[in-house]
Structure formats: C-alpha cells, structure tokens
C-alpha cells in the first residue's frame, strides 16, 4: 500500500546520510550505462538498503552502500562505480554542501504500475521499455483495476498513448479496417458494458476521475504522448460529449469548448477542442499538431536549471548529463505555454512550447512529458522496437527514469 507523503512542494528533503563505506555511481559522461544505473539503485532500495541521490553532482550521481552484493550486481548490469573511503565521501559532501547541489536520501522502492491494455506489447511504450531495460519491476493495470480502487496499491502510475476522450485517437481516419483497431474497439466496449458505463467515452471519463483522485490522495502520475492532453480533456468535459463517433464521422458540437470545466483539470486550462472528425488532433494544447496539415517541425528542447537546495523536486526530475535534447513526436508532442495553469512548473521548453511539466494536486503530483519515444523521433504504428542497448546513455530516457525514482525520496514538512 502507498505509505509515502507526497506534499513535495510544501516540504524539504531530509538529509540522512548513508553510513559506512560507499560506492559512487557517477551519472556524468563517464557512466557506461546510465539507464541501468537507475535499476541498480532501485535494486538496492528493494533490499531495504539506503541510497542517496546527489543532485547536480556529476549529472545526478548515486551514492550506494559498498557491499559485495551491490558490486556484483553493478558489474552484472554493466554500471560503472567508484569505491569511496571515508575521506572521499567527506570531500564529496563538502562539495555538495557548498555548491548548487543536494544529497537526497532514497528510502523506499516505489510500487510501480503501468496503465496499458492486457494485450499490449512492451515495445510500444517508452516507459515500459525503460523499466524492462533498467530491470525495474512493475505491474500492468487497466480500466477495471482503476475504477474499482486498485490504484491504492501503487505509489507511481504511468499513462502513455491512451485516448481518455474515447475517440480511439481518431485512428479510424487511416486505420478503420485494421484488425488491431477493431480489437481495441471491441475490448473497450466489452469493458464499458461490464463495468456499467453507457459507452466507452463514459468509461474513460470514469477512469480519468479515478486517476485524478489517486493524485489527490497522494499518488505520483507520469504521463506521455496523448495521455496528458486527453486525460485533461476528459476531466474538463464532465457531462459534455466531446467524442466524435468514430464509425460515422459525426462532428463534435462546436460549442463544446465553451462548456468545458477547467476547475477539474491538473495542468491545462482554456483549450479549444478540435471538433472536426476529419482532423487527427485533440485540441490546441499540443503545439506540434503532428497529424495535421499544419504540423510543426521538430527542434530541440532545453532542460531548465533548478536550485537543488531550494527547488529539489524539479531538480530531481531534470537530472541529466545533457541539457539540450533532440525533440521527438507523439500524438501530443508539446504543450502550449499559454494553456498551462498557474503553478504548473515548466521543466523543459522548445521555443514557445513546453515539453516537460510538473505540478501537484492535493497530496500527490503529476508530471507530463510530450512525445512518444525519445530515441524514435517519428515513431509510426508497426515500427520495430527501440533497442535501448544501443542507447544506454539516452538523456531522454533518463528523464523517464528520474520520475521512477522520484517517489523514493525521503521527505519532511517545512517547519513554519
């Protein structure tokens, strides 16, 4: 069960140092496999050991206990480490104390869930691929578990390319005869009927509401691709029908945008729906509009530099050995800055668009990352899987894994 307090922006990270001899897992360009370094750190936490995340020190390095089992595991995973004596650790702590750095204790391996259909394949979801490659265990859950309270078993929830508006991502425009789409429609309709919802859009709104409540109660949500945009649209819709029937192309009521309630959303507000069933876009939240005639070209996005001592949460989420990263498409690729609610933190930006944002609601947090696969900039349905063994130091995948370890941080409330 989830036991961590997540009032992160109202707290500071407690500084309980790891004792004894240590292993430094550097996360700068000297690291041989950045992605598996996260898995190694998770493995240490799973076994009840302590670890520390040295924010802004050599790319966000990890300090682990120097034990034979940890050394062996690191070598099996191909992760570089340096053995440290007491004087070495003291010197590093002095550097961290004096600079724009912070030592964050990691105390508990979070229970992880990935929201995905039962028949999905791991190579069509960047987070699932990252977890598999790093060796971090996770559970797969779907609509029934979500609406019946199953989210309370998990600390961290990932959402990827689901369409929470119930429009099947408008795939009917180009894939109406595809067997996989017909299977998806049949599966969703069966689940909606079995759970007592009037139709698939109603089911997805129910799922969206359950996810929102999960955040309010203290959960960590990380969403990519179409999930951030469509989750927010489903929350804003309430009783409004914003799902164009995929079977006959009936347009959405053009007045629907004026009837949305943005008080229910997490990150976005005042968006205009794309009401035409012949245009494969959801709204004007996304800046790149990938499947439209007015699609924008990819550029690069830049990670913002945060104070590790005063802004430890965004600093944790942006730890990297690169600051400027190549952009990549998804059904939702980026977020118009003027559609963000006040209080939503922009972690990375490409020109006029935010790429990576974070915020909190109630006791929990949400992080949205635009795009589908950081190492496949123009991913298409049916493309081969990304082989992360070819990208062990991917800075884009590092951002994903920052979020996986984020709930492990030890927290205490500010004394006021």
Asked whether the domain spanning 112-413 has the same topology as the one spanning 17-106, the reply is no
Average pLDDT value for residue range 136-153: 96
Q: Name 196's Cβ contacts closer than 8 Å, sequence gap at least 6.
A: none
Report the greatest alpha carbon distance in the chain.
Answer: 71
The pairing of beta strand 364-369 with beta strand 220-224? parallel
Model confidence over 318-349: pLDDT tens digits?
999 999 999 999 999 999 999 999 999 999 99
Nearest CA to 211 among 271, 127, 138, 267?
267
Model confidence over 169-181: pLDDT tens digits?
777 666 677 777 7
- Lowest model confidence (mean pLDDT) among 68-82, 251-265, 299-313, 382-396: 251-265
Nearest CA to 59 among 39, 38, 88?
38
Model confidence over 80-122: pLDDT tens digits?
999 999 999 999 999 999 999 999 999 999 999 999 988 765 5
The pairing of beta strand 220-224 with beta strand 156-159? parallel
Q: Name 290's Cβ contacts closer than 8 Å, sequence gap at least 6.
A: 329, 330, 331, 333
Burial class (CB in 10 A: 0-12, 13-18, 19+), 123: middle
Confirm if 300 and 326 have CB atoms less than 8 A apart.
Answer: yes
For the chain, the helix, strand and coil percentages under 3-state DSSP, each to the nearest 5: 35, 20, 45
- Lowest model confidence (mean pLDDT) among 269-278, 292-301, 389-398: 269-278
Residue identified by tokens 């995340």 is 53
Nearest CA to 233 among 331, 143, 326?
331
The domain segmentation of the chain, as residue ranges, is: 17-106, 112-413
* pLDDT surpassing 50 at residue 308: yes
Confirm if 272 and 260 have CB atoms less than 8 A apart.
Answer: no
Fold (CATH) for 112-413: Rossmann fold (3.40.50)
Q: Locate 263 and state its tokens.
A: 């008080």
Nearest CA to 117 among 184, 203, 178?
184
Nearest CA to 345 among 308, 314, 305, 320?
314
> How much of the chain, in percent, has pLDDT values that exceed 70?
89
Which band of pLDDT confidence, cut at 50, 70 and 90, is reported for residue 289? very high
Q: Could you tell me which residue, 180 or 132, shows the higher pLDDT?
A: 132
- Lowest model confidence (mean pLDDT) among 44-58, 140-154, 175-189, 338-352: 175-189
Q: Name 62's Cβ contacts closer than 8 Å, sequence gap at least 6.
A: 24, 25, 27, 37, 40, 41, 51, 52, 53, 54
What is the rounded CA–CA span in Å between residue 206 and residue 147?
A: 7
What is the rounded CA–CA span in Å between residue 11 and residue 9?
A: 6
**Domain spanning 17-106: which CATH class is it, in words?**
alpha beta
Q: Could you tell me which residue, 142 or 242, shows the higher pLDDT?
A: 142
What is the rounded CA–CA span in Å between residue 240 and residue 6?
A: 32
Confirm if 189 and 166 have CB atoms less than 8 A apart.
Answer: no
């Amino acid at each position: 069960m989830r036991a961590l307090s997540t009032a992160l922006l109202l707290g500071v990270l407690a500084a309980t140092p790891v004792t004894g001899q240590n292993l430094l897992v550097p996360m700068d360009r000297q690291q041989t496999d950045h992605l598996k370094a996260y898995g190694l750190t998770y493995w240490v936490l799973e076994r009840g050991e302590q670890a520390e995340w040295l924010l802004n020190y050599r790319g966000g390095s990890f300090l682990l206990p120097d034990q034979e089992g940890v050394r062996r595991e690191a070598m099996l995973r191909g992760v570089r480490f340096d053995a440290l004596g007491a004087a070495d650790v003291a010197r590093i702590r002095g550097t961290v104390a004096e600079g724009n750095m912070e030592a964050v204790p990691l105390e508990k391996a979070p229970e992880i869930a990935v929201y995905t259909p039962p028949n999905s394949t791991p190579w069509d979801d960047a987070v699932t691929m990252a977890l598999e490659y790093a060796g971090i265990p996770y559970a797969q859950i779907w609509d029934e578990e979500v609406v019946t309270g199953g989210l309370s078993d998990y600390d961290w929830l990932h959402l990827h390319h689901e369409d929470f508006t119930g429009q099947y991502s408008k795939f009917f425009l180009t894939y109406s005869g595809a067997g996989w789409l017909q299977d998806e429609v049949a599966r969703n309709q069966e689940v909606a009927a079995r759970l007592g919802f009037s139709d698939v859009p109603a089911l997805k709104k129910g799922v969206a509401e359950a996810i929102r409540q999960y955040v309010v109660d203290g959960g960590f949500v990380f969403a990519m691709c179409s999930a951030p945009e469509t989750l927010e649209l489903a929350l804003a819709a309430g009783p409004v029908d914003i799902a164009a029937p995929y079977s006959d192309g009936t347009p959405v009521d053009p007045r629907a945008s004026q009837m949305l309630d943005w008080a229910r959303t997490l990150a976005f507000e005042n968006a205009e729906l794309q009401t035409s069933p012949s245009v494969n876009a959801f709204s004007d939240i996304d800046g790149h509009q990938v499947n439209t005639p007015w699609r924008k070209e990819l550029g690069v996005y830049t990670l913002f530099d945060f104070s590790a001592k005063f802004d430890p949460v965004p600093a944790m989420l942006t730890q990297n050995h690169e600051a400027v990263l190549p952009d990549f498409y998804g059904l939702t690729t980026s977020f118009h800055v003027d559609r963000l609610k006040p209080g939503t933190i922009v972690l990375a930006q490409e020109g006029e668009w935010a790429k990576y944002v974070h915020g909190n609601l109630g006791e929990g947090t949400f992080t949205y990352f635009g795009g589908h696969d950081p190492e496949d900039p123009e991913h298409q349905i049916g493309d081969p899987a990304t082989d992360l063994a070819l990208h062990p130091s991917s800075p884009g995948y590092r951002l994903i894994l920052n979020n996986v370890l984020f709930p492990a941080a030890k927290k205490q409330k500010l004394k006021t």
